[in-house]
Amino acid sequence: MKEISLYIHIPFCKQRCFYCDFPTFAGREKFREDYINALVKEIESKCSNYIIKTIFIGGGTPSHLEVKELEKLLSCVEKLNLSENVEYSIECNPGTVNEEKLMLMKNYGVNRLSFGLQSCDDKLLKRIGRIHTFNEFLENYKLARKIGFTNINVDLMYGLPNLTIEIWKYTLEKICELKPEHISAYSLIIEEGTAFYSLYEKNKLEIPSEDDERIMDKMTKDILKKYGYHQYEISNFALPEKECEHNKVYWSLGEYIGVGLASSSYIDGYRLVNIDNMNEYIKRVENNDNVVMEKHKNSREDEIEEFIFMGLRMLSGISLSKFNKKFGVDINSIYEHVIEKNIREGLLVVKDDFMYLTSKGIELSNIVMSDFILDK
């Protein structure tokens, strides 16, 4: 049986954050039970013939599920062919977990938690639409440790409205003192369709200047390095041997199945996307109808671009021999001038078997990536 990764989407939230553009909903609790029933059915029909090497239950807020709904989902996953050393992650929002839910996760084999925190400043948390305080996060984090979770990620965000350099420094140091195994530190991107976007359009969003954001970015790397975290991807930092294996599947163009509303899959060279209408999703699964909304067969050029775009997100970069093996050509036969130009500009390095971004290249990664777009 083929080894594959599994992503499970839970689209429910207690409240939608002001920066969020994911396919999630607040106030749709009445659909939860039917949605979980449909999700279980989709998992059983799509995943039974694979060995699952990593699992990520994300959202939305998976920890917003009721205990019986969570148990139904975890019980279904437990019956799949899981690899012996499966990495099994679930996203948790502070303020939506308790001892019963955490014990349930632990008993069903979840071995990695990911807490969405974003900031240690309560005023800022309120301003960005979070439903919890820093203290609630601390209580949840300590409870998870007490229950025996030894692999925890904390999500943080900079570039937020009204975020000062001092508050960001305080947040980083406060979290580092807790010693989570993994820290994701993202810069805010203002996406269309979010509450922040409409404020931004009306000039009512006070975001930090580019210079301040650059300082925050450098501060992130310096402080995390001081506390023993190594940066292995543009926004991700880990203690030794605690990198997120599931996300590395995406970045290395590995195969995965996505189940649930609006989820994506990449398998046998196809990109698949599920429908994003809740009623329609539930109805189709109940009737054994197809829930895939889009199916796109990647061309060779698509595969090459994606291999490069995703691979350059990793600090170790792209293996040139792996590129050669996958596509049957030397990378220079396609990109010689692009590579030379970016090396000349100090944005790219080719050393031994690897091609990777420099520090300056990471800052300007969007510009570098655009150079690798092929004419089709």
Helix, strand, or coil here: 59? strand
195-213 tens-digit pLDDT = 776 776 777 777 878 899 9
One-letter amino acid identity for 368?
Answer: V
State the average pLDDT over residues 172-196: 89
Distance separating alpha carbons of residues 374 and 376, to the nearest angstrom: 6
Whether the link from the prior residue into 95 is cis, omega within 30° of 0, is no
Distance separating alpha carbons of residues 183 and 354, to the nearest angstrom: 25
Q: How far is CA 271 from the centre of its chain?
A: 18
| Sheet strand arrangement including 348-351 | 318-319, 354-357, 348-351
State the average pLDDT over residues 326-336: 96
Pairing of strands 264-267, 270-274: antiparallel
pLDDT at site 356: 98
Show the tokens assigned to 371.
């150079």
8-29 tens-digit pLDDT = 999 987 777 767 667 777 777 8
Output Rg (C-alpha) for the chain, integer angstroms: 21
> Does position 184 have pLDDT exceeding 70, yes or no?
yes
Work out the mean pLDDT of the chain and round it to a whole number.
93
333-347 tens-digit pLDDT = 999 999 999 999 999
The percent of residues in the chain predicted with pLDDT above 90, rounded, is: 82
CA dist list (Å): 199 to 16, 186, 195, 208: 16, 20, 7, 15
> Does position 112 have pLDDT exceeding 70, yes or no?
yes
State the average pLDDT over residues 175-193: 90
